[in-house]
Amino acid sequence: MTLLKKFKRAKHSLVEAKSAYVGLENSLDTAVVNRWKDQEKVAMEERGERLRIFEVKTKKGIYFDDACWLVHMY
């Protein structure tokens, strides 16, 4: 793929991503969005441990191999 095609694809993807972001932001409570923006500002100014707000919080699940083992067990 040429560099020009990659650029065009990236530009198109950026437009789609921005549209999705705006839609998500508009569907959220304004107070929550403002609180997040305030947290972001503090994190960028103070750095260190404050940057942990950018870490994605996930619940740990079981691995696929473990799930297969459980299925065969019953």
Predicted confidence at residue 53, as pLDDT, reads: 86
Which run of H or of E encompasses 15? helix 3-27
Residue 37 in tokens: 């923006």
Question: What is the separation, in whole angstroms, between the first and last Cα of the chain?
Answer: 49
What are the structure tokens assigned to 41, written together? 């500002």
Total residues belonging to the chain:
74
DSSP letter, residue 28: S
Q: Residue 73: is its pLDDT beyond 60?
A: no
Q: Alpha-carbon distance 41 to 66, whole Å? A: 42
pTM exceeds 0.75:
no
For residue range 25-69, what is the model confidence (pLDDT) as tens digits?
899 999 998 998 999 999 999 999 999 888 887 666 656 666 565
Average pLDDT rounded to a whole number, residues 8-18: 93
